[in-house]
Amino acid sequence: MEQNVFIIGATGKVGRRLISQIFEKEDTSSLRHSHPTTILGLASSTEYLYSGEGIDEKNAILFSKKRIDGKRYSGIEDILKVLRRSSKSISVIDVTASADMLELHRGIIDGTKHKVVTANKAPLAVCDFDTFQTLTSKTQRYGFRCSVMAGAEAVDKLRDLCDLGDTPVRIEGSFSGTLGFITTELQKGKRFSYAVREAARLGYTEPNPASDLDGSDVARKILILSRTAGFRVNLEDVKITPFVPKGYLLESDPEKFLKSMERLDEGFRKRMESALKRGKTLRYVACADASGDQLRIKAGLESVDLMSPLGQLLGTANKIVIITKTYGKGYYSVEAPGAGIDITAQNIRRDLLYQLEERQVAQPEKK
Ligand SMILES: NC(=O)c1ccc[n+]([C@@H]2O[C@H](COP(=O)([O-])OP(=O)(O)OC[C@H]3O[C@@H](n4cnc5c(N)ncnc54)[C@H](OP(=O)(O)O)[C@@H]3O)[C@@H](O)[C@H]2O)c1
């Protein structure tokens, strides 16, 4: 029996890579897989392609590159209508960055037999806690591993610990490859403005690096992880201290923004120098702490011991550190290379594997 997928965001960077991986890695092969993947649907923000028999490789790639047109659609309800009409079970993959997708996720989970796999963290951050729990409690039907740390084991680890009764009481981590890269460059003695410019040149930042330095993306990640650990929190509970003073973040022109970072070089140099003298370094740390009377959740630049789990983290790597109640003194940690398009696409395919009811081992690849 095949595993049917409908990819929303098929024309984006992750969507395009996912489609090419599905074909290159022979996920569609019935010789290799007991549940070969069939792409039934693809959508951009305005158009979709759907075939009950499956979309072939040529058309899937052409659609993802916007070289063929699909049918125009005007909103989530149109996609839901297509899904409701399908007699087949479909895993709908959300690789957009749109918060509007919450309506799609809820529509699928509440009103259809279909499933969701999402790399889009926006719906899980904007929804209320109860909706988060309703969606994510359907472990077989709702895959959200790729919404944080590009699908590394963070979500699984937290969920397993909760189910085992070894409740997390503190979660901390560095969840931004971009900000990890910048702090590592500062540690090496590079100027702050150079480090930001270099991160942009290497493609680690959003088109305007201000979007990385405002801390909002990290805030959404710690929120999702905290909620996964069972902490009843909302986005407004996260105290965010942006990497740079807020005034700088208002600049919408990327080049002017990068130029303005030079004014911060001396301040960051002194801050890093002072940290290093004390055996510490700077990291952009997100933390949710439920060990006291009140849950505290925040994200900001902090000095951490050089030998600590986050102090040892280098470059674009991400790490989560989890402290639980039962086995007090130690900690669990999960480290992963910084998110990239390839690893995200691969881990979306991995989330699809988890949705198979009777998964069987794939046959070896043809030589
Ligand atoms: N890039 C990475 O390395 C990376 C790593 C980990 C996770 N992620 C996550 O993966 C997701 C996709 O990232 P990306 O870099 O591929 O983004 P992207 O290149 O901007 O692509 C976004 C895709 O979503 C579609 N889209 C936008 N708004 C939509 C809407 N309202 N309804 C339906 N479709 C809509 C776009 O369609 P149009 O072509 O019509 O605009 C496009 O296909 C994001 O949530 C991101 O956080 C990305």
- pLDDT tens profile 131-155: 999 999 999 999 999 999 988 999 9
Element (H, E) at 124: helix 122-126
Ligand 1 centroid to residue 16 C-alpha, Å: 10
The span from the CA of 344 to the CA of 143, in Å, is 13
- Of the residues 115, 221, 280, 319, which is catalytic? 221
Exposure of 76 in the CB half-sphere (CA atoms within 13 A): 14
pLDDT digits (tens, 9 = 90+) for 299-345: 999 999 999 999 999 999 999 999 998 766 778 999 998 778 999 99
Residue 289 has pLDDT above 70, yes or no: yes
The span from the CA of 3 to the CA of 24, in Å, is 17
The span from the CA of 123 to the CA of 109, in Å, is 13
Total residue length of the chain = 367
CB of residue 340 inside a 6 A radius of ligand 1: yes
Q: What is the dihedral of CA 14, 15, 20, 22, to 10 degrees?
A: 100
Token output for 354: 């988890």
Check residue 198 and report its DSSP letter: H
> Residue of the nearest CA to atom 39 in ligand 1?
11
Tell me the Cα Rg of the chain: 21
CB of residue 92 inside a 6 A radius of ligand 1: no
Percent of the residues in the chain that have a pLDDT greater than 90, as a whole number? 88
Compare 331 and 367 and report the one with higher pLDDT: 331
Task: Check if 221 is active-site.
Answer: yes
Residue 364 has pLDDT above 80, yes or no: no
- State mean pLDDT over 46-55: 97
- State mean pLDDT over 110-122: 96
Lowest-confidence segment of 211-220, 270-279, 298-307, 337-346 by average pLDDT: 337-346
Nearest atom in ligand 1 to 121's CA: 45
Instruction: Tell me which residue of 87, 11, 20 sits closest to 46, measured CA to CA.
Output: 11
pLDDT of 291: 85
The span from the CA of 243 to the CA of 252, in Å, is 17
Question: Sign of the CA dihedral 298, 196, 98, 16?
Answer: negative
Ligand 1 centroid to residue 10 C-alpha, Å: 8
pLDDT of 206: 85
Write the single-letter amino acid at 161.
L
Mean pLDDT of the chain: 94
Q: Which of 46, 73, 95, 218 to mutate to test the pocket of ligand 1 (most atoms within 8 A of CB)?
A: 95
Structural fold of domain 168-338: Dihydrodipicolinate Reductase; domain 2 (3.30.360)
Q: Which of 17, 18, 76, 96 to mutate to test the pocket of ligand 1 (most atoms within 8 A of CB)?
A: 96
∠ Cα 166 169 175 (to 5°):
110
pLDDT of 366: 63
pLDDT of 340: 83
Kindly list the strands in the beta sheet with 296-305, ordered across the sheet, starting from the edge strand earlier in the chain.
239-240, 296-305, 280-289, 168-174, 318-324, 332-336
The span from the CA of 128 to the CA of 106, in Å, is 12
pLDDT digits (tens, 9 = 90+) for 14-42: 999 999 999 999 999 998 888 999 999 99
Nearest atom in ligand 1 to 147's CA: 7
CB of residue 18 inside a 6 A radius of ligand 1: no
Cα-based distances in Å from 267 to 48, 198, 344: 50, 19, 35
Ligand 1 centroid to residue 214 C-alpha, Å: 20
Ligand 1 centroid to residue 311 C-alpha, Å: 31
Its pTM surpasses 0.85: yes
Query: CATH says 3-143 is which class?
Result: alpha beta
> Residue of the nearest CA to atom 21 in ligand 1?
12
Ligand 1 centroid to residue 146 C-alpha, Å: 13
Lowest-confidence segment of 108-112, 196-200, 206-210, 286-290 by average pLDDT: 206-210
Cα-based distances in Å from 192 to 19, 106, 182, 244: 37, 42, 7, 11
The span from the CA of 142 to the CA of 301, in Å, is 33
Ligand 1 centroid to residue 177 C-alpha, Å: 18
pLDDT of 367: 58
CB of residue 337 inside a 6 A radius of ligand 1: no
Contact 37, 18 (CB under 8 A): no
Nearest atom in ligand 1 to 10's CA: 43
- State mean pLDDT over 209-216: 94
CB of residue 96 inside a 6 A radius of ligand 1: yes
Band (127; pLDDT cuts 50, 70, 90):
very high
Contact 281, 257 (CB under 8 A): no
The span from the CA of 284 to the CA of 1, in Å, is 46
- State mean pLDDT over 199-226: 93
pLDDT of 203: 85
Residue 361 has pLDDT above 90, yes or no: no
> Residue of the nearest CA to atom 6 in ligand 1?
150
Please state the domain extents for the chain. 3-143, 168-338
Percent of the residues in the chain that have a pLDDT greater than 70, as a whole number? 99
Instruction: Tell me which residue of 78, 104, 15 sits closest to 7, measured CA to CA.
Output: 15
